[in-house]
Amino acid sequence: MTAHPIGAAGFLHRFDGLRARLPGARLPWIQALREQAADAFRVQGFPTRRVEAWKYTDLRQVADAGFDEALSAVDSAPALPPAHGGARVVFVDGRSRPDLSTVDGLPYAVESLAAALEAQEGRLGSLARPAEQPMAALNTMLFEDGLVVTVPAGVAGGVLDLVSLGSASERPEAFHPRHLIRLEAGASLTLIETATGPEDARYLHNPVFEIEVGFGATLTHARIQQEAPRAFQLATVYARVEKGGTYDNFTLNAGAKLVRNEIHTLLAGPAATCHMNGAQLLRDGQHADTTTVLDHAAPDCASRQTYKTVLMGKSRGVFQGRIHVHQVAQRTDGYQMNQALLLSPEAEIDSKPQLEIYADDVKCSHGATVGEIDADQLFYLRARGIPEARARAMLVEAFLTEAVEGVQDETARAALGAAVTGWWEAVA
Partner 1 sequence: MLRIEGLTAEVEGKQILKGIDLEVPAGEIHAIMGPNGSGKSTLSYVLSGREGYEITGGSVTFDGRDLLAMEPEERAATGLFLAFQYPVELPGVGNALFLRTALNAVRRARGEPELDAMQFLKVARERLKALQIQEDMLKRGVNVGFSGGEKKRNEVLQMALLQPRMAILDETDSGLDIDALKIVSDGVNAQRGPGFSALVITHYQRLLDYIVPDRVHVLMGGRIVQSGGPELAKQLEETGYASVQAAA
Q: Given candidates 118, 328, 390, 428, which one binds partner 1 under the rule CB under 8 A?
A: 390
For position 358 contacting partner 1 by CB under 8 A, the verdict is no
- How, if at all, do strands 109-112 and 147-151 pair? antiparallel
Q: Given candidates 42, 95, 129, 382, which one binds partner 1 under the rule CB under 8 A?
A: 382
Q: Please state the closest distance from residue 406 (CB atom) to partner 1, in A.
A: 12
Q: Given candidates 344, 377, 411, 421, which one binds partner 1 under the rule CB under 8 A?
A: 377
Report the distance separating Cα 317 and Cα 327, nearest Å. Answer: 33
Element (H, E) at 322: strand 316-325
The window from 71-79, 175-183, 211-219, 380-388 that contacts partner 1 (CB under 8 A) reads 380-388
Q: Please state the closest distance from residue 383 (CB atom) to partner 1, in A.
A: 5
Task: Summarize the chain as % helix, strand, coil (round to 5).
Answer: 25, 40, 40
For position 350 contacting partner 1 by CB under 8 A, the verdict is no
Report the distance separating Cα 354 and Cα 295, nearest Å. Answer: 12
The window from 80-88, 269-277, 325-333, 394-402 that contacts partner 1 (CB under 8 A) reads 394-402
CB 310 within 8 Å of CB 404: no
Q: Cα 267 from chain centroid? A: 18
| Nearer to partner 1 (CB atom), residue 16 or residue 405 | 405
For position 401 contacting partner 1 by CB under 8 A, the verdict is yes
For position 381 contacting partner 1 by CB under 8 A, the verdict is yes
For position 362 contacting partner 1 by CB under 8 A, the verdict is no
For residue 417, the one-letter residue type is G
Contacts of 115 (CB under 8 A, 6+ apart): 96
For position 428 contacting partner 1 by CB under 8 A, the verdict is no
Q: Please state the closest distance from residue 396 (CB atom) to partner 1, in A.
A: 10
Report the distance separating Cα 418 and Cα 424, nearest Å. Answer: 10
For position 376 contacting partner 1 by CB under 8 A, the verdict is yes
| Nearer to partner 1 (CB atom), residue 187 or residue 400 | 400
| Nearer to partner 1 (CB atom), residue 355 or residue 381 | 381
The window from 71-79, 175-183, 383-391, 414-422 that contacts partner 1 (CB under 8 A) reads 383-391
Report the distance separating Cα 319 and Cα 303, nearest Å. Answer: 17
Contacts of 24 (CB under 8 A, 6+ apart): 30, 31, 34, 117, 118
Q: Given candidates 380, 408, 410, 428, which one binds partner 1 under the rule CB under 8 A?
A: 380
Instruction: Give phi and psi for 397, each to the nearest 5.
Output: -60, -40
For position 397 contacting partner 1 by CB under 8 A, the verdict is yes
Element (H, E) at 289: strand 287-296
Would you tell me which residues interact with partner 1 (CB under 8 A)? Answer: 375-377, 379-388, 390-391, 394-395, 397-402, 405
